[in-house]
Structure 1
Amino acid sequence: MTITLTAAATLADRLEALLPQTQCTKCGFDGCRPYAEAMARGEAAANRCPPGGAEGIVRLSALLDVPPQPLDPERGVEQPRAVARIDESLCIGCTLCIQACPVDAIAGAVKQMHTVLPDWCTGCDLCVAPCPVDCIEMIPITGEKTGWAAWSAAQADAAHTRYLTRRARLVREREENDARLAVKAVAKLRALEAEPAMSEAERAALDRKKAVIQAAMERARQKQAAARPRNTENVSPAVQAQIDAAEARRAKAGLTGTPSAGDAGQDNPDNQTADS
């Protein structure tokens, strides 16, 4: 891959750069970066990535200076790359596939037909299981080519960029939603405080509400700080250029203004989804 690595790059950085960036979680970790970190700590073997296949295992093992092992069968099998396809006649517009896609490769909105952007799909198949009407299938597109023979460094790089862009956007949307909730909560408290002739019991109840709201706001602040994704603030100029290019492509395709499933959440941060 061409993920920019400095001389001071950690072992986890170098391992991540050897992974295909499909973000499929078949390795048992929540994406390529957590898997790379686990390998760097000596907590995971180098044979847990089906999309990378045998060649990927050899690359990772060489960096870790360990003998390559066969692919762990519990993680799946090396196979031709596939892309998701939605049967648009069956799609109900539930947006669950949009929420599951780690690289924003599915476009659509609430109660509207969804479609997969095949050039962006990494073949992770994470969108298949959540679909309540079973209208998504994975279509092999690389013939007999498997592993890195079916997936290029340029494709891995683009997938990595889209993954980072999506995570940064979700954090931004969550922060904006929490800010809206905080404004509403403060306005409600002020309205209650302005009510005349408030009894002592009512004043005590109001104080309890204020304490609850302030505690909730502080928990939200701490959660946001803990959830901020890696590699989105101090990225290299090369990676930032890729992120900018991806955003430009989304804007040109008219995707940035598409209503997201999160719009149906009515200020519920747990309902935030991709706005592909």
Structure 2
Amino acid sequence: MTPTAAHLLDALPQTQCTRCGYPDCAGYAEAIAAHEADINQCPPGGAEGVQRLARLTGRPVRAIDPQFGVEGPRALAVIDEAWCIGCTLCLDACPTDAIVGIHKRMHTVIDAHCTGCELCIPACPVDCISLETVTPGRSGWQAWSQEQADHARARYEAHASRRAKAAPSAAPANDAQADAPDATDRKRAIVEAALARARAAAKDLRKP
């Protein structure tokens, strides 16, 4: 029997890291079900994850394709609060809302909600986020439980629902909206202003 995307999704670790080449775990599951993706594209699931998908699909077990990454220990994102400028870009990037903070104030990571997806790292304009290994010697499903996967999945679904409700309507923009700067320009302005404040604060600290 051909497995459904829902069954395949249940077998994935729900880190929502996008390393498989799809926007989330559900997208990858749908691609596998449609025979558009192989079963060895999920580094967080590792070798055991491939075995789970192989049992469901009847496809042969294969090593993780290195173009998608390598299996490794679980990591948590850590924010250097001394360098955080409060730009909120990492909040937008986090798929499980594991980062908390407000504009122009330092942010922090709630460990229990972090999947180690790494999506916040390229989003940070001041490189104040790093990864800390929390399961040395254990990787894949040996470093990640079904309970954690279920928790991450619930967090992601809540995050996606909130984002969908907050999205602007698809109605045509009026002239005023057309003249307004787009979201990228606004975020760039926010970051530049925050960096300027951070440089000014650092300069004041260096004064005798």
TM-score by length of 2: 0.81
Residue 157 of structure 1 aligns with an amino acid whose one-letter code is: D
Aligned partner of 2:91 among 92, 95, 98: 98
Task: Flag the 1:92–1:269 CA change in 2: closer, same or farther, 3 A.
Answer: closer
Is contact 1:93–1:113 with CA below 8 Å preserved after alignment?
A: yes
TM-fit CA distance, 1:171 = 1.4
1:156 and 2:183 correspond: no
Q: For residues 86 and 79 of structure 1, what CA distance do their matches in structure 2 show?
A: 21
Aligned partner of 1:87 among 68, 80, 85: 80
Q: 5 Å matches for 1:101-112?
A: 101-112=94-105
Q: For residues 143 and 157 of structure 2, what CA distance do their matches in structure 1 show?
A: 23
Q: For residues 65 and 11 of structure 1, what CA distance do their matches in structure 2 show?
A: 13
Q: Aligned residue for 2:133?
A: 140
Aligned-residue CA RMSD (Å):
2.3
Question: Helix, strand or coil: the match of 2:78?
Answer: strand
Q: Aligned residue for 1:191?
A: none
Q: 5 Å matches for 1:1-276?
A: 11-175=4-168, 178=169, 215-216=172-173
TM-fit CA distance, 1:130 = 1.3
TM-score by length of 1: 0.61
Q: For residues 143 and 118 of structure 2, what CA distance do their matches in structure 1 show?
A: 16
The structure with the larger Rg is 1
TM-fit CA distance, 1:78 = 0.5
For structure 1, the residue ranges without an aligned partner over 5 or more in a row are: 1-8, 180-213, 218-265
Which whole-Å deviations, capped at 9, do the CAs of 1:147-187 have from their partners, x for residues lacking one? 00000000000000010001111111225xx59xxxxxxxx
Is contact 1:105–1:116 with CA below 8 Å preserved after alignment?
A: yes
Q: Aligned residue for 2:200?
A: none
Q: How many residues align?
A: 180
Q: For residues 74 and 99 of structure 1, what CA distance do their matches in structure 2 show?
A: 26
Residue 162 of structure 2 aligns with an amino acid whose one-letter code is: R
Residue 68 of structure 2 aligns with an amino acid whose one-letter code is: R
Q: For residues 98 and 88 of structure 1, what CA distance do their matches in structure 2 show?
A: 14
Q: Between the two proteins, what is the percent identity of the paired residues?
A: 50
Question: Helix, strand or coil: the match of 1:103?
Answer: coil
Residue 142 of structure 1 aligns with an amino acid whose one-letter code is: T
Moved over 3 A (4+): 214-217, 268-272
Which whole-Å deviations, capped at 9, do the CAs of 1:204-229 have from their partners, x for residues lacking one? xxxxxxxxxx7448xxxxxxxxxxxx
Q: For residues 172 and 40 of structure 1, what CA distance do their matches in structure 2 show?
A: 28
Residue 19 of structure 2 aligns with an amino acid whose one-letter code is: K
TM-fit CA distance, 1:95 = 0.8
TM-fit CA distance, 1:269 = 7.5
TM-fit CA distance, 1:108 = 0.6
Residue 128 of structure 2 aligns with an amino acid whose one-letter code is: C
Residue 72 of structure 2 aligns with an amino acid whose one-letter code is: Q
Is contact 1:174–1:269 with CA below 8 Å preserved after alignment?
A: no
